């Protein structure tokens, strides 16, 4: 590989992650083996405003690039210099994807093999506290002039890459990184390949951790390995930032999707990961509540609920709550007016419910009406049942269970099929206690709506 061409590249940009990011400066140094044979440096007019914080970091402002060539004007030079060369950069996915995005905007494809000097340095110079370009240059005594300018960073990366080449004289590591099956170039710069290799192709949850071992993202998947690697192919800004801050990945096999969803919800509640958006704020829920009005009539109504209300039945859409209240009203011959299904004066005249016995126009006594209203409330109360949902376990000889006691989610557990467990008390010996929240209640509600009572065992 001594005659191999390498294009060592650095770009400065307008600072909008990956999507919508435009180049303000580029430097390319071409090596044949470890010898420099060509160099190109240019400011680039991004045709958009450069934010002040980017100017503060790089020193490049709008005046400097106003008369610079647009990317389209230097694109042929970039294609010429990188043709037949391996694209090399410090944190290669950033520079590569920005350049590829610029070519995509011109209607052209840009595809090159890639090498990342962060990942190569971690492999060949292990044990350092940091692999940022600045820290590596300090540690290895590499001159770095013009930090956060394309030429200064590229010149330093060239020297670093030449050191890497000297540490891999037989190109064993570089060849393994270039192997299409290794996917080294697609992995985040700080993530060791071993974390991916250990991931199972099973159902469960996975946890991305930062440099301080703090959980920054929690996800669930039917195939953990497949889902985790898919994050690194996603070019969205948030996914890119997640990859840049991921140093380790942990996982838990759950055996089934229900326990995975519940475990994911608990981890998000407990750790509040930076890169999780969903499940941080509960949406509105509804309940059927009651009060005694000025006439002494027990009146039913729909109100917004919180998980702390501990209502008889939670509804995740207002239409569900209305449908349930209409059924109660009709089944117990209640008055639509006093169930807040109508806002009128005088007698009720609901379009669907016609069996009111006349409490609204004094044809029925309040006392008799309230008896039926209390019966309806008692029916709601009976919804708070105790049961377990049995599902597949993590192994073939294991079963999982999810426990609900008096309508409240208590947690989940795993039991060997050889164990004879039939009572609630026996299940509790295997229980991993969890908190009942809006999200866990909704997960169980959705599961029951989808699967019915096929796997439900009442205790």
Most confident stretch, 72-86, 236-250, 273-287: 72-86
Distance between CA atoms of residues 87 and 112, nearest Å: 6
Question: Which one-letter DSSP state was computed for residue 70?
Answer: B
Identify the residue whose tokens are 């394309």.
150
* CB 203 within 8 Å of CB 256: yes
Q: How confident is the model at residue 345 (pLDDT cuts 50, 70, 90)?
A: confident
Question: What is the CATH code for 5-186?
Answer: 3.30.420.10
Tokens of 24: 């303000």
* CA dist 311 → 199, 444, 447, 457 (Å): 41, 16, 20, 23
| pLDDT at position 139 | 94
Copy the structure tokens of residue 449. 């709506």
**β pairing state of 35-43 and 85-89:** unpaired
Query: Per-residue confidence at 308, pLDDT binned at 50, 70, 90?
Result: low
- The most confident of the ranges 47-51, 256-260, 423-427, 446-450 is 256-260
Domain boundaries along the sequence of the chain: 5-186, 193-271, 285-381, 387-458
Range with the poorest average pLDDT among 126-130, 140-144, 262-266: 126-130
- Mean per-residue pLDDT for 211-222? 96
User: What pLDDT, on the 0 to 100 scale, is given for residue 311?
Assistant: 54
The pLDDT assigned to 382 comes to: 66
User: In whole angstroms, what is the distance from residue 378 CA to residue 312 CA?
Assistant: 9
198, 136 Cβ separation under 8 angstroms: no
Q: Give pLDDT, residue 8.
A: 98
Task: For residue 256, name the pLDDT band (cuts at 50, 70, 90).
Answer: very high
Residue 433: enclosing H or E segment and its boundaries? strand 431-433
Averaged pLDDT, 74-90: 96
Measured between alpha carbons, how far is 40 from 28 in angstroms, rounded to an integer? 5
Copy the structure tokens of residue 323.
Answer: 């449908």
Of 221, 243, 177, 143, nearest to 6 by C-alpha is: 177
Q: Identify any residues that bridge with 305 across adjacent strands, giving them in sequence order.
A: 285
pLDDT in tens, 371-414: 999 999 988 876 668 899 999 999 999 999 999 998 889 999 99
Average pLDDT over residues 154-170: 95
Q: Does domain 193-271 have CATH number 3.90.1580.10?
A: no
Q: How confident is the model at residue 282 (pLDDT cuts 50, 70, 90)?
A: low
DSSP calls for 85-154: EEEEETTHHHHHHHHHHHHHHTT------EEEHHHHHHHHSTT-S--SHHHHHHHHT----STTSHHHHH
């Amino acid at each position: 590989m001594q005659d191999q061409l390498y294009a060592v590249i650095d770009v400065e940009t307008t600072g909008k992650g990956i999507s919508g990011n435009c180049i303000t400066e580029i430097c390319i140094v071409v090596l044949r083996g470890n010898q420099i044979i060509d160099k190109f440096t240019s400011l680039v007019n991004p045709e958009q405003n450069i934010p002040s914080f980017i100017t503060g970091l790089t020193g490049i402002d709008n005046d400097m690039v106003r008369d610079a060539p647009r990317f389209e004007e230097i694109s042929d030079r970039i294609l010429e210099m990188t043709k037949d060369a391996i694209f090399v950069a410090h944190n290669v996915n950033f520079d590569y994807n920005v350049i590829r995005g610029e070519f995509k905007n011109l209607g052209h494809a840009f595809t090159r093999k890639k090498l990342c000097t962060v990942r190569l340095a971690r492999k060949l110079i292990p044990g350092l506290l940091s692999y940022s370009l600045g820290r590596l240059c300090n540690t290895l005594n590499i001159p770095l002039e013009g930090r956060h300018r394309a030429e200064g960073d590229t010149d330093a990366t060239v020297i670093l890459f030449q050191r890497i080449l000297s540490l891999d004289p037989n190109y064993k590591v570089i060849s393994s990184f270039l192997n299409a099956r290794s996917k080294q170039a697609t992995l985040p710069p700080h993530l060791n390949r071993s974390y991916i290799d250990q991931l199972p192709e099973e159902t469960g949850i996975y946890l991305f951790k930062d440099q301080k071992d703090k959980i920054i993202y929690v996800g669930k998947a039917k195939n953990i390995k497949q889902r985790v690697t898919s994050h690194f192919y996603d070019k969205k800004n948030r996914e890119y930032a997640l990859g840049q801050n991921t140093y380790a990945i942990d996982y838990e096999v759950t055996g089934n999707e229900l326990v995975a969803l519940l475990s994911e919800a608990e981890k998000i509640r407990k750790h509040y990961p930076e890169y999780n958006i969903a499940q941080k704020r509960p949406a509105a829920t509804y309940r059927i509540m009651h009060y005694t009005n000025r006439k002494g009539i027990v009146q039913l109504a729909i109100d917004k609920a919180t998980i702390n209300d501990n209502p008889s039945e939670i509804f995740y859409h207002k239409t569900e709550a209305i449908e349930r209240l209409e059924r109660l009203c009709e089944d117990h011959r209640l008055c639509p007016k006093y169930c807040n299904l109508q806002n009128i004066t005088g007698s009720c005249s609901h379009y669907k419910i016609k069996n009111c016995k006349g409490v609204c126009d004094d044809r029925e006594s309040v006392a008799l009406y309230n008896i039926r209203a209390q019966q309806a409330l008692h029916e709601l109360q009976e919804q708070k049942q105790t049961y377990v949902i049995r599902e597949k376990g993590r192994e073939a000889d294991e079963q999982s269970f999810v426990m609900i006691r008096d309508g409240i989610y208590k947690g989940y557990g795993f039991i060997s099929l050889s164990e004879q467990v039939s009572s609630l008390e026996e299940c509790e010996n295997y229980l991993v206690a969890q908190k009942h929240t809006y999200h866990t209640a909704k997960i169980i509600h959705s599961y029951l709506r989808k699967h019915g009572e096929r796997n439900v065992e009442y205790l």
